[in-house]
Every structure is written in structure tokens, then in C-alpha cells.
Amino acid sequence: MALFIHGIGSVDPAPALGHAPEPAEARAGNRLHAIEPNYLDFIDARASRRMSRIVKMGIAAAVQAVRGSGGGPVDGVVAGTGWGCLEDTVAFLQKLVVNGEDMLSPTSFIYSTHNTIAAQVAYHLKCRGYNNTFSHRNISFESALIDAQLLAHEQPAQRLLVGGIDELTDTSFTVLSRLKTFKSQQPGGPLDELYDQGTPGTWAGEGATFFLVSGEAGPTARAQLLAVRTVSFGTPEKAAAVARQLLTANQLTWVDLLITGENGDQENDAAIQRFATDFGHSGPVHKFKHLCGEYPTASAFALRLGAELLAGTESTPRPADIPRTILIYNRFQQQHQSLMLLQAC
Amino acid sequence: MGVAVTGVGIICALGTNQDEVMASFRAHASGIGPAQHLPTRHRDDYVFGEVPLSNAALAAQQGLPARLSRTILLSHHAAREAYASVPATLREEQRVGFISATSVGGMDKTESFFKDYVQASTAGDLRQVINHDCGKSTDFVAEKLGIHDFVTTISTACSSSANAIMLGARMIESGQLDIVVAGGADPLTRFTFNGFNTLMIVDRQQSRPLDASREGLNLGEGAAYVVLMRADLAAASGANVFCQLSGFGNTNDAHHQTALSDDGEGPFLAMTQALAAANLQPADIGYVNLHGTGTENNDLAEGAAIRRIFGEAVPKLSSTKSFTGHTLAASGAIEAVFSALAVRDGLMFPNFSFATPVEGPALRPVQQFHVDTSVRHVLSNSFGFGGNCSSLLFSRA
């Protein structure tokens, strides 16, 4: 049930993956924010004025993914978002609480539902096909991928948009800070100072990343997702056992590269070490959350990183230092774990 | 391979379990009335489909702490009833998933948090706001039930739990899971009530779907889950099979964020896909449980789609939302429970009241609860904001 990635679009804190963004550009205190494109390249001005930031981020990423695949129709849209449309949710809630239950306008309510992003992408592309939205914490994107994989298995020729989208707002940053999600010390150095501080907490992040995928390979395929699995309420060792099963099921004995979701929180990162040790990986390891920050669908950023590394060269023979297989392992605090196994095309 | 429905659990304004809900239908007693528990200042001006229990009473029934979100209390109540139909041996030996749905998550608690938070960003009880995200209630219930092979949450507004049931069936058909508890939950909140009210689609009286005098929906609350099981496993284990989930369709109307297209293209495509998936003709359908919110737009668009598919030969149909209110993300699963019972027992669910058909589609709903054992196939529709349209098709095993 391989899923071939034909196009990638992303609005996140690290638009050019080859070179990490300047810390001053993407980071404000313990927050990494998406570096936004000129939305008029993707959405006409009139429609854009009505849209919230997360919807614009989502549509821009989706349109980029379609263009990256060489264009063409889209048969379905599947999205994952852990936090949903926070800006509009907070706007309506604030008016409700401050004004009382009178004098409210419907606009922010209308756009507050979690499915607004996938719905607006479908509306923008006039896509009447399959449409679904998952909101399940840090496996929202993986759930969407599992759904897309099923769709591709059912009808391999379908061209599907699958993405992960989360926005950070001042309100969510404040509330998550009070919940001690983020580091208390302020950063000042390079982005990778996120790691190895031996302190609790992480940096906040956000991003919208869409993939144009199908069950068929073809000339535009840049990488293939061999498997995606979620592991709920289990130990790192259980996830490592699932990872070994995935390799075996795909006739692999090792992967060239492991991408892991360390976020600088000492407990979270210790659990990732337990996974890596038990899995027994001896090759290189890449981390990614210093580039995008922590958010429920950060794994979509990791998939982008993995797919772009696999597609990194068109020269043959393939240089030895460019990986052919990648395993992505993500987790966040005590929530769920996920695995994505990727192979070059 | 085939997917069987082998258990149901439900809580809504009509009762706190399957037996109570069916007793209400037999007595033609709707659950619509004044709100006792929703803290809205519009309490006296509108009617609601409220579950007639406080959080404390709901919690006590289940041995849970009363501080939990109402979403969790409703979800666990119905999921526990459904999962009780699965014997311990199957729970242990088979791969089991829990796929839930909600549109507001723990919004009831977030509202309380926000009341203090707007005064000062350092104020507000954090133990309330940690319930906010959609996955919180799903994880709580999955852990309580001991389900861990696959857990996720779908949030596509008012079609959410129909999509949860659809995904469960597809994961069974693809061989990834053997048993799935699928459905959804949404509580009444001031957020959703005022949201719909600002759209001016809430009726102050009991809603009258399909009736020319309709003036909108009543907001309701509840939760429901079905147990989906690999059909061969259901047969081998002697499970009580209600029906098969024989088809489904999921489309997007791609017309407007909150309104369906005049010709009901999204609903038409969803029903058409469900029929094709089950390899059935329109004439095979014996009953349709409509989305039937009672808004002007829904009844015209859904009615147009029904006429496009069935022409003059429209099967028995009705909207049970005139009994339960519109339970948002829970409605697809609540109506899936009714549809499963319609197939198994031939139960024909009525509209609460009806006098004059809507000009145009001119559909006439079932008006008396009765038994029609000739019914073999039942369609259930769920549509939502964002143009999300889903249809489920249930058939005799």
C-alpha cells in the first residue's frame, strides 16, 4: 500500500530546507513562526481578505503541492489539525464571554470548525471528492495519512491532497506556556541549541504542509511512503518493536537515516533515546524540531524533510551519502507515538 | 469481506441507553424542551434536545469524577454500552480500534476557563482548558475501555461521526483491524448554540423538518457508537448481528462554507456513491434517515438530492432530529443506531409532527412509529459545515 509523493507544499518556519533559517528571522523568544509567502501567488485578493491565517496557510501549501506535482485535478482532500482554527475559535469565544450572548456576528463561528481548512481547499480547487479532517493530538497528520493510504489502496489512480496544519496564536502560546509546555529560559544562539540543555519544555512552532499523493508511481514521484503507523498508550520499546515489524514487512533490515522528534524536553528526548537504542539504528540521525518548533502536526514537516532528502538528487548513480530509506519516529510528551517509513523512488 | 454492526450504545435527549431511547419513540415522546443544565441566558426563549442529567449525575452513573468535560461523560456513557456487547476473549485476541468524533471537544470547559482568562491572562483554571482539544475525550474513553490498537478522532462538523463509522469499516475491510468502536459525541455548549443562533437558523419552537412551516433546527446533545466487526468474525463468534454496513459515500459540496447547493450536488453524490458501493439500486432502499435539520436550506438541498435519486418512487423517510435535536458531531452515529435498528427490526422512525410538505421536493415523512419488516436496506445522511456530505448504507445481514 505504498503512497507516492508527487508534490510538496509548505508554509512553515523553514521554507528552504537546504539552509536553516536565520534564528532572528523565524524565532521570537521561545516561538518559531511560519515564514509566510505572498498569498496573492495562491489566492485571489478578494477571497484572501475573508480568510483566516490558518486557512491561507493551508490553501497556499495545498496549491504549492498541486503545482509541484505538475498540476492537474485533485480527487480528494484529507487534513489533520491538532488545534484546529484557533484564531476564529478564540474570536467567537471572546465575544461570547465579553459581550454576553448578544450582539454576536456569525463570521468567526462559521470558520471555527476544524474541517474549515480541508473544506476551503476543496472549495478553492472545486474538488467534490472525498474530504475528511482528523483532530487527534500529535497523530492528527498520521491519521490523515492512514486515511489517504486506504484511499490509494481502494483506487490507486486517485490524486489526493493530504496535509497537516496547525497555527500558533498569542492565546494558545499563553495558555500552553502556563501549562509549562515551553522552556523558561530565552534562547539566543543557533537554532540547534534547542537540544541537550537538560531542561524541561520545548519551543512553540506551527506550520501547514500538504502532499499531493497517489497509489501510482509515475515520473513525478519524488519518494514513497511504505508505511505509516501510530502507537497509542505504549512504551518506546513497543514502538521500536512495531518499527522492526514494518522493516521486515517491507523486506528491509535497516534504514539509511532515522529522523526523530526530539523537542528539547528532557523527558521527551530521553524516551526517544530509549526508542533509538531498542530499535538498534547505527546510522545517522536527523532531528527537525529546531527548524519548525513543536506542534501537533510537526510530523508533516518531518515527512517533508524526509521526502526532500530522498529526492535530493537526480544524478545516477546515486551518491552514497544520499539516503534511500528513512524511518521517521515522532512523539510528544506522554501522548501518542508514530512511525513513517519512506523509500526513494 | 463485509463489515457487521454487532453492538450499539446511545445517549441523547430521548434516554440514556438503547432501551430508554426506544421507549421514547414508542410513546412518541420527543426529547425537545427547555434546557435544565446548559447555562445560557436564552434558556427560556428556546428549546433544546438536552440529555436530562447533570454532569454530576452522569458522572455518578459511570463512577467517574464530575469535573470531566460533558463530552467525555457522554462519550464514555455510550461507548461503554456499545463495547459491553464484545466478549472479553474477542477484546483480548482481536485488533480493536476506537474512532470517535466531536466538533467542539471540551468547549464546555473552555468556556468556563475563558470567562476568567479574559479578565487576566494569568487567570482561569488550567484543569478546565486541558480538555479543549478533540482528542482528549477520545483518549480518555479509549484508555477506560482498554482499546489501544488504533485510536483517532474525526472532526468534520455535523458529518463527523458518520465519517468515523466509515473509516472504521474501511480499516476492517483493508485488514488493519478486526473490531472498531466508532461514533461520536458533542455536548450542548453556549459556543455552538450562539453560533447557530447568530446564523438565524435556530427555531424557538420544536423543529419541523420537511414541513413548510419549518424555521430552523433545535440544538441537541448526545453520543452514540456502533461496534463494527469483520463479518466472518461476527458469524464465527456468534455475535448479535444487527445488520451489515454495506456501503458509504463521502463527498464535498464545494459550494459554500455553511449552505448546501440548491440542487444538493454533494448529498446526491454521497448517496449515489453509497448505493454504488453496495451494488444496489434506489428501488432497493426501504427507508432513509435524513440529515433533516429543519433549516430552509437543508430541506431544499437534501430534498432536491432525494428527488434526483428516487424520482417519484421515494422510499419511507424521516428526520429523527425533531425528537433528538441536532446533536452535531454525534448525529451521524445516533442516526446510524436508528438505521441499524430499522434494518434489524423493521422499525420505522417518524417525524415528531408534520402537516404541509415543503414546496419543491414535497417529501412526506413517516408520521407514526411502526414496524415494516419488508425493509432490507436503509440509507442515513449526514451533512456539515464546509460542504462535508456523508451517507451510510445499512443492509440486512
Whether residues A185 and A229 share a domain: the answer is no
- Supply the pLDDT for residue A322: 83
Whether residues B257 and B276 share a domain: the answer is yes
Average pLDDT over residues A124-153: 98
Whether residues B128 and B231 share a domain: the answer is yes
Q: Does B163 touch chain A (CB under 8 A)?
A: yes
* Upstream peptide bond of A317 is cis (omega within 30 degrees of 0): yes
- Domain edge (last residue) among A203, A222, A241: A222
Whether residues A26 and A154 share a domain: the answer is yes
Lowest-confidence segment of A126-140, A307-321, B96-110, B161-175 by average pLDDT:
A307-321
> What is the number of domains present in chain A?
2
Whether residues A50 and A198 share a domain: the answer is yes
Whether residues B65 and B183 share a domain: the answer is yes
Reported as a single tens digit per residue, the pLDDT across A262-286 is 999 999 999 999 999 999 998 999 9
Whether residues B281 and B210 share a domain: the answer is no
Average pLDDT over residues A320-327: 88
- Supply the pLDDT for residue A76: 98
Reported as a single tens digit per residue, the pLDDT across A165-194 is 999 999 999 999 999 999 999 998 999 999
Q: Report the C-alpha gap between B102 and B253 in whole angstroms.
A: 21
Contact assignment for A135 to B155 by CB distance below 8 Å: yes
- Supply the pLDDT for residue B106: 96
Whether residues A286 and A211 share a domain: the answer is no
The CATH number covering residue A291 comes to: 3.40.47.10
Which residue in B170, B160, B171 sits closest to B134, CA to CA? B160
Distance from B24 to chain A by nearest Cα, in Å?
32
Q: Does A181 touch chain B (CB under 8 A)?
A: no
Reported residue count of chain A is 345
Q: Are A140 and A82 in contact (CB under 8 A)?
A: yes
Whether residues B33 and B178 share a domain: the answer is yes
C-alpha cell recorded at residue B125: 483554571
Whether residues B109 and B75 share a domain: the answer is yes
Contact assignment for A101 to B265 by CB distance below 8 Å: no
- Supply the pLDDT for residue A102: 86
Whether residues A75 and A195 share a domain: the answer is yes
Taking contacts as CB-CB distances below 8 angstroms, the residues of chain B near A82 are 133, 135
Domain of residue B359, residue span = 243-395
Which residues of chain B fall short of a pLDDT of 50?
Answer: none
Whether residues B195 and B290 share a domain: the answer is no
- Domain edge (last residue) among A205, A222, A239: A222
Whether residues B133 and B261 share a domain: the answer is no
- Supply the pLDDT for residue A315: 54
ipTM of the complex: 0.98
Whether residues B225 and B370 share a domain: the answer is no
Q: Does A154 touch chain B (CB under 8 A)?
A: yes
Contact assignment for A113 to B143 by CB distance below 8 Å: no
- Supply the pLDDT for residue A196: 86
Reported as a single tens digit per residue, the pLDDT across B233-279 is 999 999 999 999 999 999 999 999 999 999 999 999 999 999 999 99
Hey, which residues does A3 pair with through a beta bridge? A225
- Supply the pLDDT for residue A20: 73
Q: Report the C-alpha gap between A144 and B378 in whole angstroms.
A: 29
- Supply the pLDDT for residue B28: 97
Cβ of B198: how many Cβ atoms within 10 Å? 22
- Supply the pLDDT for residue A313: 58
Whether residues B231 and B288 share a domain: the answer is no
Buried/exposed B108-143: b ≥16 CB within 10 Å, e otherwise:
bbbbbbbbebeeeeeebeeebbbbbbbbbbbbbbbe
Whether residues A266 and A140 share a domain: the answer is no
The CATH number covering residue B112 comes to: 3.40.47.10
> What is the number of domains present in chain B?
2
Reported as a single tens digit per residue, the pLDDT across A218-274 is 999 999 999 999 999 999 999 999 999 999 999 999 999 999 999 999 999 999 999
Domain of residue A325, residue span = 224-343
- Supply the pLDDT for residue A256: 96
- Supply the pLDDT for residue A17: 74
Residues 6 or more apart in contact with residue B145 via CB below 8 angstroms: B79, B80, B83, B98, B181
Distance from A300 to chain B by nearest Cα, in Å?
17
- Supply the pLDDT for residue B377: 98
Whether residues A31 and A91 share a domain: the answer is yes
- Domain edge (last residue) among A222, A239, A270: A222
Distance from A75 to chain B by nearest Cα, in Å?
10
Whether residues A213 and A237 share a domain: the answer is no
